[in-house]
Every structure is written in structure tokens, then in C-alpha cells.
Amino acid sequence: MLVTNTEEIPGKQIVACHGVVSGSTVRAKHAGRDILAGLKNIVGGELKAYTELLIEAREEAHERMQAQAAQLGANAIVNVRFSTSSVAAGASEIYIYGTAVTVR
């Protein structure tokens, strides 16, 4: 599955459009991570536990979007975008969407 944030794929021709596809996941923070993050805020630096959490969430949402596109018979997804939002105290949603297409 080809996935790009551009409207076209260089060297490929879009021959069919299957519509918008998306994937999402909601992840909650872990209490232990919150305590360590609070300590890290005092001294500064990257919050690696949160970075890893977001990477995992993006990968899961990405896989779900690709699975939806495959069910529609697409072999590519163009114009892909990511979005995040807070859905509850301590929980965030990662949402990814794009247009499923067939290219040759």
C-alpha cells in the first residue's frame, strides 16, 4: 500500500477513487508515566515515555486506515493527514485520514 501526504504519486496514475478512509486510536496516560513526566518537567528534556506512546498510537491508527483502504480494493492512499485531540482527562485520540485510490 502506497501512502503519501501529496495529492498524486509521482510516476503513478490514479485510475479509481474509493473515497475517504481513516483510522484512529484513543490512548490514556499511565499514572507512572505522569509522575516521571512531572519530574522531567522540572529539569527539562524529552518525555520519552510519551514520545513512545504517540509513536505506537500513530502506527496503530495508520494500520487501521490501510486496512480500511484494502477492504475497498485500493492500493494507495493519497492526501494523508494526522490529527490529535483530547477526548477525556488524560486521554487523547490520534486520527489519520486520506483518500483511498487505485494507481497503476
Residue 38 belongs to domain with CATH number: 3.30.110.70
pLDDT, position 12: 98
Q: Which domain holds residue 11?
A: 2-103
pLDDT digits (tens, 9 = 90+) for 39-68: 556 666 777 777 888 899 999 999 999 999
Give this prediction's pTM. 0.85
Q: Rounded to the nearest 10 degrees, how much is the dihedral formed by the CA atoms of 91, 96, 97, 103?
A: -160
Q: Rounded to the nearest 10 degrees, how much is the dihedral formed by the CA atoms of 6, 59, 87, 7?
A: 10
Exposure on the CB side of residue 29, measured as CA atoms within 13 A: 20
Number of domains in the chain: 1
